[in-house]
Structure 1
Amino acid sequence: MKKKIIATILAAATVLSMTACGVSAPEAPAAPAATDATEAAAETPAADATAAEAVTPAADAITLVMAEVNNLDTIVGMTDAKFKEEVEKRSNGSIIIDLQPGGVLGDEAAVLDSMLGGGGTIDMSRISAFALTPYGGEKSMLLSLPYTFVNREHFWNFANSDLAQEFLLEPSEKGRGIRGLFYGEEGFRHFFTRDAITGIESFKGMKLRVSTDPVMTGLVEGLGASATPIDFNELYQSLQTGVVDGAEQPIANYKSKAFPEVAPNMILDGHTLGAIQVVITDDAWNKLTPEQQEIITEAGKAASEYNRSISEEKENEVLEQLKADGVNIVEVEDITPWQEAVKPVIEENTKGQEDLYKKICDMK
């Protein structure tokens, strides 16, 4: 299978002591029977309901263009589709979500630049929470600090708290023109490589792809590797040609983007739980009536709960499929060396926000 780009529009953080919050690697429960991610997406309520119960747009319907860098067969793609379905159903077709998946509108940085540029071509997007750091979301950076969330329950304790709302609204309150609507997660993030790996020592000298994010850059350098910024949409080719030796992604995205074809080794270090947000520009938000804003908010709650209900199951399904396909999956038996490697990253990136980070850690 070659790298796919799906361009079809579908209805579809005083505790800081040089250590991270977690003390052990996240453990996945026994995985259910293997199921292909694409088939899983087709079998989900979101996909079925959207296809079978399409809402006829009202004559004066408001259309909101929503960007997604990943495909619809991923956890985040399925969450987007659920959100679209809920918005259109609850609004009786008066609000239409024009969902554009597969990175056709650019990577997360390009999408955010477009949204904040005021051009009005992109109204909404599903993004990684840490991507907001350069756009007024300094608090959101705490969510990507390695080994912060010890398990999924820890993350959801945060995501459903009042503190989460402060994080979501921070960019808007700083006048950056964008606000978060709700949280979700796309599974623990792991490193994958072109050549076989056995443990943390394997990363020395490797070129690992990173986004323009100080936390991930610090983590990669802490492992002894070279942090190499590469556009996500160029990652497959960069791995194929050896421009980079590896990268990191959640399991579902790793498979969906066909990365096993060019980097068939994955080590389950679980350095970060991939916190996601759906964001909307203030311009688009302010054009909505209070009733429409409430619809968007309630649809976001439903999509967030849906994301929580499917994420772990779908992640495990994909993991079992990867094993069956011959991908070299390496378990991490002792996470301590990894935690030691990230101490400077945590210290540097919690300066001035130590108390806030403690609150997040205490939610486990």
Structure 2
Amino acid sequence: MKRKQKRQIGISVILILCMVIAGLVLAKRNWGTDPGRTEPGYPGERESSLPEEPGGYSRTEVKKTLVMAVEAPLDAPYGKLAMAYKENVEEMSGGSLSIDIYENGLLGRSAELISSIGDGSNAVDIMLAPVRDLADAGCPDTGKLLEPYSFDGHAGFLKWASSREAETLLEEPEKTGLGARGLFFAEDGFSHLFLKENRMSVRGKRVAGEANDESAEYVDRIGGIYDYLPSVDIRDALLSGTLDGVERDCRFYQENALWEAAPYIVADSHLVSPCEALIKLGSVEKLSAEELDILKEAGKTAVEAFTEKLRQEEKDMLDEFTGHGAEVVKLKP
């Protein structure tokens, strides 16, 4: 009789333990999938308890996904930068932060996103905003980055991007009421001057530039006569002699094989069109200070590698152009 009672008690204990274990497994599964189960930050996401990363960043935060808008395609320079940034963020955070990139202006044009980034209708958390659009949206100090000779080439830009001046300028969007703050600056290439003839001066000569005030200001500063032509007409205008020069970047020169039409290159890095990575203030509120530091550090690392790659690509292109018979020259100061 006693043996039978002991057996029943043993069976009961085993059944209770099985129920407890099953309950714990179910509770753990529901923690991450039950829509009604939320943590601070984003609904339906569960906290992870992972070891600290080598860089000192803790991996004990709520897993979050940030939406990033890029107006360029992913195979364009700024698209490649966005991909590098995504990889850095996810690696540095140990996977607790992830980035979903929407390319080609899929979520809207940059100017539209900037104007709506402070309200609830904008699904973007982070965006690469052209400095020109930020200037038009009421960030005049940021707009000054577009002025001729603002930077001494790629190295000069990179040095500035990590300076206290750049850090202060990242605060301008928030101070002007745009509803966002800056994370980092980046550039995608400098403009140079390409000439039909080797001249110490271009005074009185017709030089085609891009359709903006900065190009016109540059051409005027070097004494030329500014003109705008569609890109497809520039090569023929140079060959026919109706145009004396063009100011564009090395990619444009390469794509249009201009070494015959304009074989003299003034590599003066006179203009650049940077972008600024913005994060919506509403998204900032859902992130910890540590997570914000990761977003900034990931940007800094991505920009350093990206800028060095641009510098090397430009050097390789100039070598290619000289191989085609082009010559690097200097204008008289």
AA of the residue aligned to 1:272:
H
**Aligned match of 1:274:** 272
* Secondary structure of 1:289 counterpart: coil
Q: Secondary structure at the match of 1:209?
A: coil
Partners of 1:140 and 1:146 lie apart in 2 by 14
**Aligned residue in 2 for 1:177:** 179
> Map of 1:215-230 to 2, 5 A cutoff?
215-222=214-221, 223-228=223-228
Equivalent residue for 1:139, pick from 141, 147, 162: 141
2:70 to 57, 67, 70: 67
Separation of aligned partners in 1, 2:167 and 2:179: 16
Match of 1:40 in 2: none
What residue in structure 1 maps to residue 82 of structure 2? 80
Q: Which position in structure 1 is the counterpart of 2:331?
A: 334
CA contact (8 A) 1:250 1:274 kept: no
CA contact 1:207–1:226 (8 Å) conserved in 2: yes
Residues 1:98 and 1:138: Cα distance change in structure 2 (over 3 Å): same
Q: Does 1:317 align with 2:319?
A: no
Aligned partner of 1:300 in structure 2 is: 299
Instruction: Report the counterpart of residue 112 of structure 2 in structure 1.
Output: 113
Deviations 1:42-85 (A, max 9, x none): xxxxxxxxxxxxxxxxx9752413214376364x4443321121
Specify every segment of 5 or more residues in structure 2 that has no aligned partner in the other structure, as ranges: 1-61
Calculate the TM-score normalised by the size of structure 2. Answer: 0.61
Q: CA deviation at 1:87?
A: 1.8
Higher relative contact order (CA 8 A, sep 6+): 1
1:263: Cα distance to partner? 9.5
Tell me, yes or no, if the aligned pair for 1:185 and 1:275 is still in contact at 8 Å. Answer: yes
User: CA–CA distance in 2 between the matches of 1:302 and 1:147?
Assistant: 25
Name the amino acid aligned to 2:265.
I
Q: Residue deviations 1:267-324, cap 9 Å, x none? A: 3242426363332242564364124433311211211221343232222122223444
CA drift at 1:215: 3.0
- CA distance in 1 between counterparts of 2:197 and 2:65 reads 50
RMSD over equivalenced CA pairs, Å: 3.9
- String of CA shifts for 1:85-141, please: whole Å, max 9, x gaps: 1123334164223152xxx329xx942333323452655444554553222332233
Matches of 2:319 and 2:183 in 1, distance apart? Answer: 33
Give the secondary structure class of the aligned counterpart of 1:149: coil
Q: Confirm whether residue 260 of structure 1 aligns to residue 226 of structure 2.
A: no
Q: CA deviation at 1:174?
A: 0.9
Per the alignment, in what secondary structure is the counterpart of residue 143 of structure 2? helix
Q: Relative to 1, partners in 2 of residues 1:314 and 1:176: Cα closer, same or farther, differing over 3 Å?
A: same
Do the aligned partners of 2:259 and 2:326 also contact (CA within 8 Å) in 1?
Answer: no
Q: How many residues are paired up? A: 258
Contact 1:209/1:247, CA 8 A, preserved across alignment:
no
Q: Using the alignment, how far apart are the partners of 1:264 and 1:124 within structure 2?
A: 42
Distance 1:224 1:240, change over 3 A: closer
Q: Please report how far the alpha carbon of residue 220 of structure 1 lies from its aligned counterpart in structure 2 after TM superposition.
A: 3.0
8 Å CA contact 1:178, 1:281 repeated in 2: yes
TM-score scaled to structure 1, two decimals?
0.57
Question: Given residue 297 of structure 2, which amino acid in structure 1 is its aligned partner?
Answer: E
* Cα gap change, 1:203 to 1:87, in 2 (>3 Å): farther
User: What's the CA shift string for 1:332-359, capped at 9, x where partnerless?
Assistant: 32341xxxxxxxxxxxxxxxxxxxxxxx
2:85, 2:131 → 1: CA distance?
A: 18
- The percentage of counterpart residues that share the same residue type is 20
Q: Is the 8 A contact 1:114 1:121 kept in 2?
A: no
Q: 1:136 to 1:330 in 2, by over 3 A?
A: farther
Query: Aligned pair in 2 of structure 1 residues 269, 261: CA closer, same or farther (>3 Å)?
Result: closer
Partners of 1:86 and 1:296 in 2: CA distance: 9
Q: Residues 320 and 303 from structure 1, CA distance in 2 versus in 1: closer, same or farther, beyond 3 angstroms? A: same
Larger radius of gyration: 2
Which consecutive unaligned segments of at least 5 residues does structure 1 have? 1-58, 337-364
Q: After the TM superposition, which residues 39-78 of structure 1 pair with which residues of structure 2 at under 5 Å, given as runs?
A: 61-69=64-72, 72=75, 74=77, 76-78=78-80
Q: How does 1:185-200 map to 2 (within 5 A)?
A: 185-192=187-194, 196-199=196-199, 200=201
